[in-house]
Amino acid sequence: MTVFSYTACTAEGRKIHGIIEAESAPAAARMLMERGETAVRIEERRALRLPQETRQWLSRRGNVTDEERIAFFQELSALLAVGLPMHRALERLRDGVGEASPSGRLLHDLHHAAMQGMPLSRAMETKQQIFSPVLVGMVRAGEESGSL
């Protein structure tokens, strides 16, 4: 599936913007029509380009620093903010580094857990060497409040 950004008009004439996943731009337009929205503009989102700091964290071996953890969660947050579901956001991060590196395997495991319906906090609990109980608790609080 491809990610598209769009501008559409609602039946009430209100202009809205959003992100939608579809096989093609025409398929995205059909999906919007099914929701009662008329597409004004649909553009394919370009491939995700992670900042250098995040790419370094995702591809390195050994311990993960606090700064690297922060960069990871900032990127995850940005992907979630544009409307990607958790499993897609983790998939895009994973695909950015491949599964051969330690962080690629970590992202593979987190993505796999998300695909099985496991909350991110529970998946993080299985990676205690990387995610502290405090960080897991913060993510759990975000999940439970709906603000993750």
Domain at 60, CATH number: 1.20.81.30
| For residue 119, pLDDT beyond 90 | yes
Tokens 């995610």 correspond to 131
As beta bridge partners, residue 3 has 21
Distance CA 46, CA 43 (A): 9
Residue 54 pLDDT: 58
How many domains, in total, are found in the chain? 2
Greatest CA separation for the chain? 55
pTM given for the model: 0.57
| For residue 137, pLDDT beyond 80 | yes
Closest CA to 111 of 133, 71, 84: 84
Radius of gyration of the chain (CA): 17
Range of the domain at 26: 2-44
- Tokens standing for residue 4: 């598209």
Distance CA 148, CA 132 (A): 18
CA distances from 68 to 102, 103, 119 (A): 14, 11, 22
| For residue 103, pLDDT beyond 80 | no
Pair (137, 120) in one structural domain: yes
**What tens digit of pLDDT does each residue of 18-76 get?**
888 888 999 999 999 998 999 999 988 765 555 666 555 555 544 566 666 776 788 88
Q: What percent of the chain has pLDDT over 90?
A: 24
